A and B are shown apart, each in its own frame.
Chain A
Amino acid sequence: MIEFLSGAVTLGFLVGAVFFARFWRRTNDRLFLAFSIAFVLLALNQALAWYIGDADERVGYTFMLRVLGFVLILIAVIDKNLSKA
C-alpha cells in the first residue's frame, strides 16, 4: 500500500511539474520554470525514497533533492522581487 501511494505521489509531483511548465510557456514567467524543476526534484526525492526503501533513506542524502527543490523556489521568489518590484 505504501509503495502504491509512494508511486502515486511521485507521479503527482511530476504532473504538477508539467502544469507549471505549461504555465511557464504561457506567461514566460521564470518563476513557473523554477517551480516546475522544483517539483521534478520532489518527484525524484519521492522515487528515490521508495527505491532505497528500508535501507534507511534518512541516512543517505536523498532529502537533499527536496532541499534543493525548495532552495530553487526560494531563489525564484527572491529573483521575482528583485527584478520587477
Chain B
Amino acid sequence: MHTVTFVLTSLAALTSAGCMLLLFRAYARTGLRLLLWSALCFVFLTANNVLLFFDLVVFPGPEIDLRVYRLAANLAAVLFLLYGFIWEAE
C-alpha cells in the first residue's frame, strides 16, 4: 500500500511539474500573460502535490500534518488561475 501511495503521489507531482514547465516554456516563447498565470497556478498545484507526497510517504505519522500548508498552496493556485482566466483569457 505504501508503495502504491508513493507511486501515485509521485505521479501527480511529476505531472503537475511537467505542466508547469510546459506553461513556462510557452510563456517564454509567446509572452502571453495568460500562460504566466497558468504556470504560476501549476507551481502551487505542484507544491501541493509535493507536500502531499511528504505528508503521506515521508511523514506518514499523525504528528506532522501538512494540511494547512497544502491548503495554502491550493489557495494560491486557485487565485492565480482565476486571475489569469478572468483578466487575460480574451
Contact = CB atoms under 8 A, between A and B. Distances in A.
A–B contact via C-beta, under 8 angstroms: yes
Interface of A: 2, 5-6, 8-9, 12-13, 15-16, 19, 23, 42, 46, 49, 56-58, 63-64, 66-67, 69-71, 73-74, 77
A6 B78 contact: no
B2 to A, nearest CB: 12
Interface residues of B, number: 27
A67 B8 contact: yes
Interface of B: 8-9, 11-12, 15-16, 18-19, 22, 49, 52, 55-56, 60, 62, 65, 67-68, 71, 74-75, 78-79, 81-82, 85, 89
Given A9-B71, A12-B82, A15-B82, A74 B56 contact: no
Main secondary structure of the interface of B (DSSP, over half): helix
A77 B19 contact: yes
Nearest to B75: A9
Given A8-B75, A9-B75, A12-B78, A19 B85 contact: yes
